[in-house]
Structure 1
């Protein structure tokens, strides 16, 4: 086994502590990765603080992982020692159900194995990327293109694919009007990707404080949702709305902004339920949908797309000692736009 240095929490209200854990011995198709950088996702915070249900502590969060292959199992064919690789939000699935066979492992009927806070096929709890090393089966490892640095690649493994997948699924592209709700870690990636796909992009944010950034990232328009006139003036405008915020919002108000046959897709996951008036949908044959990351094939496609279009997240690199502070800053929307842990500081 490999002993990994980690940062873990031992309870919902506990600070991060330096610990060590044992990673499993390499199976024949496993890859050992020395983690170089790990992004901080809002999901990490929800999970670490027990907001999405019971958690088996201690917990090592982190599903935005970038590093270097340092060992491979005897049957590994996809990667070799020295390769630049990433790991996202899942590390396995049943591989047998209809969704897995379609390359949609994130929707595995038996439940995919999350990178942390899950249980693997060996019956062991999974621990994530706030760590020096991780062992993952090769089929759930991604190749990082040469022109994307490891620190910038890490957030693409969640924030990138979480926004790329619905944009691709609902056919964002030339002639489509796409709105992005929120300009945070997810939102700024949605803007960059939708722009690269050729869509006309609008940011809908509480205020205009990030307007300059939004326009720099590729938005064509930027509106403050705190202004009631925004909802009046933009009624019936958008083909697609990507809602990236992890907080309760007035869904009916945003549905009113959709054109005929338009769709609003939730990728943010608030802890509390959302409600809507079904007449908001019926009146213009609108749809309210959800989307959760992407399959391994689509995630690799996203990485290659970002490499081709020179898309990278805006990041702030922090040390392991700053994780608790970073969590509070994420909750206060005080990050532009993704924290990335330099795991050499573990």
Structure 2
């Protein structure tokens, strides 16, 4: 079938209408007619070829919501009937044969299907194809499609570290950054039962952080405030792609505390060994959740009324939406309606 999409034809170039032939549907694949697509900063990196991996023309997008249009012969049609509202997120397939898949950790599979990295057939299109139906997520009733879209990447990326790091409701936690990921992390952790402190460079987003559920706030740009918070937190989730003073952030952890990086710093993370070893502290990475974790996240969000704040754009304004995300001006996620 012919797919109508929006593609960049050169690094950093504008998105223009683009058509490609999708080919026959594989046995485990699902064709989804897209109605809404979130814009993640990773999409900007793919459009701009920030990693040197993009193949042009690039069709980005990995937060797609729509309805099932067709399924492969091996798909359980009782689970994903044609017409069902679903989402295709950051991970759209895995092998289901390796040790990671067989233990439920599909997000660690070395053979994942990442539409955003594939680059040529992403969700900025009328249709998107998932490599395996078991990664296609039914959307809970009552959740608006424009709210569901950002949850398929930003939502699962901040929710899965809560599970992987065994965060408890009794834990004192901090979220670094009040942006596309951070504003969701605060909501999830607050509804999880944690006492949440938001950390931002200035106090400009204090009111927003409190509205999302934070009960504490640290303006990290003020002299000495991080030192005053030493030994305060069991878990710190960094959602910013920034080079932070890592020794200071390790210092705000309690013994055996964990610093989780869901945002990817631009340069190597460096710290003194005495910041880590005496308190048996841990630095770990936070990634998009497994198929099961993503489903749990959607159910948790639906049950507790957790919603991203979004700016909604018509498809004709997709370039303006992309530019708003590129400049860091979206509050707090941009979503395109196709």
1:198 matches 2:193: yes
Q: Pick closer, same or farther for the CA change 1:113–1:72 going to 2, 3 Å.
A: closer
1:117, 1:127 within 8 Å by CA — same for their partners in 2?
A: no
Q: Distance in 2 between matches of 1:61 and 1:114?
A: 11
RMSD of the alignment, in Å? 1.5
1:1-346 matches, cutoff 5 A: 2-77=1-76, 78-108=79-109, 110-118=110-118, 127-136=121-130, 137-343=132-338
Instruction: Tell me how far 1:309 sits from its aligned partner.
Output: 0.8
Q: Distance in 1 between matches of 2:271 and 2:35?
A: 43
Match of 1:153, SS?
helix
Q: Pick closer, same or farther for the CA change 1:274–1:11 going to 2, 3 Å.
A: farther
Off by >4 Å, runs of 4+ in structure 1: none
2:321, 2:336 within 8 Å by CA — same for their partners in 1?
A: no
2:104, 2:290 within 8 Å by CA — same for their partners in 1?
A: yes
What residue ranges of structure 2 are gaps of 5+ in the alignment?
A: none
1:60-87 Cα deviation digits (max 9, x unpaired): 1111111111222333212001111001
What residue ranges of structure 1 are gaps of 5+ in the alignment?
A: 119-124
2:35, 2:66 within 8 Å by CA — same for their partners in 1?
A: yes
2:42, 2:116 within 8 Å by CA — same for their partners in 1?
A: no
Q: Distance in 2 between matches of 1:54 and 1:107?
A: 20
1:267-293 Cα deviation digits (max 9, x unpaired): 111343322222211131111110211
Match of 2:237, SS?
strand
TM-score (norm 2): 0.95
1:91, 1:115 within 8 Å by CA — same for their partners in 2?
A: yes
Q: Number of matched residues?
A: 335
1:59, 1:117 within 8 Å by CA — same for their partners in 2?
A: no
Instruction: Tell me how far 1:126 sits from its aligned partner.
Output: 5.0
**Deviates further, 270-279 or 230-239:** 270-279
